[in-house]
Amino acid sequence: MNNLPNDPVMLMSFLNLKLRDQFDSLDALCDDYDVDKQTIIDKLATIGFEYDEGQNQFK
């Protein structure tokens, strides 16, 4: 995850921006950035956010 923000709040904000503007799914974003999807999900879960696939964002 070297090319993504390390801070969980900044990461959530960054991901939601990218998911809204550039990627149609978290899988597509993870493929493009070469990061593990579960690692992102677990990191954001530590601050109470979950990925909503229907809305394509973390809430």
Q: Express each pLDDT in 2-59 by its tens digit.
A: 789 999 999 999 999 999 999 999 999 999 999 999 999 999 999 999 999 999 999 9
The answer to the question of residue 48 being in a domain is yes
CB-based contact 58:44 (threshold 8 Å): yes
The answer to the question of residue 30 being in a domain is yes
pLDDT at 41: 98
Please, what is the Cα angle at 47 between 21 and 3, to 5 degrees?
50
Domain residues for the domain of 23 are 8-58
| Number of compact structural domains in the chain | 1
Q: Is the pLDDT of residue 1 over 80?
A: no
What pLDDT score does 16 carry?
Answer: 98
Which H helix or E strand runs over 2?
none
Residue 2 lies in a domain: no
Phi-psi region of 11 (alpha: psi -120 to 50; beta: other; left: phi over 0): alpha
Burial class (CB in 10 A: 0-12, 13-18, 19+), 17: exposed
- Domain annotation covers residue 1: no
pLDDT of residue 13: 98
| pTM: predicted TM-score of the whole model, two decimal places | 0.93
